[in-house]
Structure 1
Amino acid sequence: MSKAPAELKYVETHEWLRLEADGSVTIGITDHAQELLGDVVYVELPAVGSVLAKDAQAGVVESVKAASDVYAPIAGEVVAINDELVGAPETVNADPYGAAWFFRIKPADASVLDGLMSADDYLGQIGA
């Protein structure tokens, strides 16, 4: 059964978002996404300093089953990436909402977070 922490926001492409105290937004993939992928073996992340448009490809996650794009759920500048994830991609399977965050973005417009899905909405969408 997929989990979706209530304090996060979600998008249809299975990314989660967490607003940080400094105004940046941390982004990762959901528990449901990692379950569908299976054992993750490779993660490609965006470059720090790159400016991403909403819904632009921001990275790639590969598993023993498939490769899947990771999208920027909001527009903004990448201010940090999770370097540890590149060396230990299996962390995505073990801790998708914690240690396996993908990147942090400085949003072009933080108010867009208000229009994203709640945990209940997301779980309803995936039929959980």
Structure 2
Amino acid sequence: MSETPPDLKYIETHQWVRPADDGTAVVGITDFAQEQLGDVVYIGVPEVGETVTGGEEAGVAESVKSASDVFSPVTGEVIEINEMLEDEPEKVNEDPYGEGWLFRVRLADQGELDGLMDADAYAEHVETAE
């Protein structure tokens, strides 16, 4: 069974978001997603200053098996990217909810988080996908 931390919000395409008190949020791919991908060899993320839109493509994750679009769970301006992934994309496999995070955004609308799945809803979604 994949790990689904309770403090995160999730979207159906297997990305997570960790909101912070300062109006920013960190985005990554879920444990389930990294398991499905296999060994990640490349992560493409938006550039700092770019605006991402909730539910729309924001990057790509490539593995030895396949490539998969990465969607942003939220809308906002990218204020930081995880530069470690450039040299160590495998961090996504090793620690998808920690060192394997993808990018940080300044949220355009904090209320957008209310429409996302909590851990229980996401775990149920994964069960039906498996």
Note the aligned Cα RMSD (angstroms): 1.0
Distance 1:21 1:54 in 2: 19
Deviation at 1:55, TM superposition (A): 2.2
Partner of 1:105: 105
Aligned AA (1:12) = E
Question: In the alignment, does 2:92 pair up with 1:86?
Answer: no
Runs of 5+ consecutive residues of structure 1 not aligned to the other structure:
none
Deviation at 1:26, TM superposition (A): 0.3
Normalised by the size of structure 1, how large is the TM-score? 0.96
Distance 1:125 1:14 in 2: 10
Distance 1:97 1:71 in 2: 16
Distance 2:54 2:123 in 1: 22
1:4-36 superposed Cα distances (whole Å, 9 cap, x missing partner)? 000000000100000113210100000000000
Partner of 2:70: 70
Aligned AA (1:103) = F
Partner of 2:45: 45
Partner of 1:116: 116
Question: In the alignment, does 2:14 pair up with 1:14?
Answer: yes
Aligned AA (2:91) = T
Deviation at 1:56, TM superposition (A): 2.4
Normalised by the size of structure 2, how large is the TM-score? 0.95
Identity %: 53
